[in-house]
Amino acid sequence: MVGTLGLGLLTACVAGPPVPPEPPASPSPAAAPADAGVPALTAAEIEALYRERLAGSRTRFTEADVRFMTDMIHHHAQALEMAVLAPTNGASTPVQALAGRILISQQDEITLMGQWLEDRERPAPIVDLETGQMLGSHHHDHHDHHDHSMPGMIDDDRMARLAGSHGTDFDRLFLTLMIEHHEGAVTMVRDLFASDGAGQDEEIFRFASDVHADQVIEVARMRLLLASLGGPPDMETQNDPASSTTHSPHHHHHPDSNTP
């Protein structure tokens, strides 16, 4: 965006009307210093400057940026795994609509993150966008499968329970787990911006900011929908060590609460 704006401004300067030469007998002292001896940039020179800036922007990243994009691909992939269950597990219309939005947005973002890594000659995890399954590694064995140490990642037992649930039970568990999962992504963005020198790259800053904003809004919507269905499943809240810190008690006991 900045590069495009700069290009537009430079082009506007080049496209200006030619300055007619002043007659020697009547020089214009006010105009002469500004107009004399200022070479105009050619279109080729402007293009070269733009390419140089673009290439430079792709070197302004840290290992924390690479780790964030790599981990977030895995994180998003698990959200896809959860969302694809909605149509087959008897989810309600609102939950199916929510799952559909999550599928579309996170598929697009996985593609964007993979391209960001490839542009910087870093290996990108390969995801089956239809199922969320990981199809390949990027040379680090601990990333071949989902790394459950990331904030908000759902363990295998609870993922299996979600896959085996149906109807309203599925809705309540899906919303409970997806809230936790989304909050983990928000934590990952905050951790990125807290890392020294990270998030300076324009693309990653804009992307991470968008993820933060979108997922905070979606969490608020999911909390309202979950409250209308009676709150989280009892077993889930007991097994979730984060529930005492991330979910206040009134969410479990007052389904009619409209606090996000």
What DSSP line would sit under 217-242, residue for residue?
A: HHHHHHHHHHHHTTSS-HHHHHH-TT
The pLDDT tens digits for 96-115 are 999 999 999 999 999 999 99
Looking at the predicted structure, is the pLDDT value of residue 55 above 80?
A: no
**Helix %, strand %, coil % for the chain, to 5?**
60, 0, 35
CB 58 within 8 A of CB 105: no
Start-to-end Cα distance in the chain: 34
Average pLDDT, the chain: 79
CA angle 184, 190, 212 (to 5 degrees): 70
The tens digit of pLDDT for each residue in 218-250 reads 999 999 999 999 999 975 444 444 443 333 333
Return the pLDDT at 190.
95
Residue-wise pLDDT tens digits, 134-163: 987 544 443 445 566 899 999 999 999 999
Phi, psi of 124 (to 5 degrees): -110, 135
127 sits in which H/E element: strand 126-127
Q: Are 180 and 237 in contact (CB under 8 A)?
A: no
Domains in the chain with CATH codes: 1-14+44-59 (no CATH), 63-253 (1.20.1260.10)
pLDDT tens for each residue of 159-177 = 999 999 999 999 999 999 9
pLDDT of residue 52: 73
User: How many whole angstroms separate alpha carbon 21 and alpha carbon 49?
Assistant: 29
Those residues with Cβ within 8 angstroms of residue 158's Cβ, 6 or more apart along the chain or in another chain = 173, 177, 236, 239
pLDDT top residue among 60 and 92: 92
Distance CA 102, CA 77 (A): 11
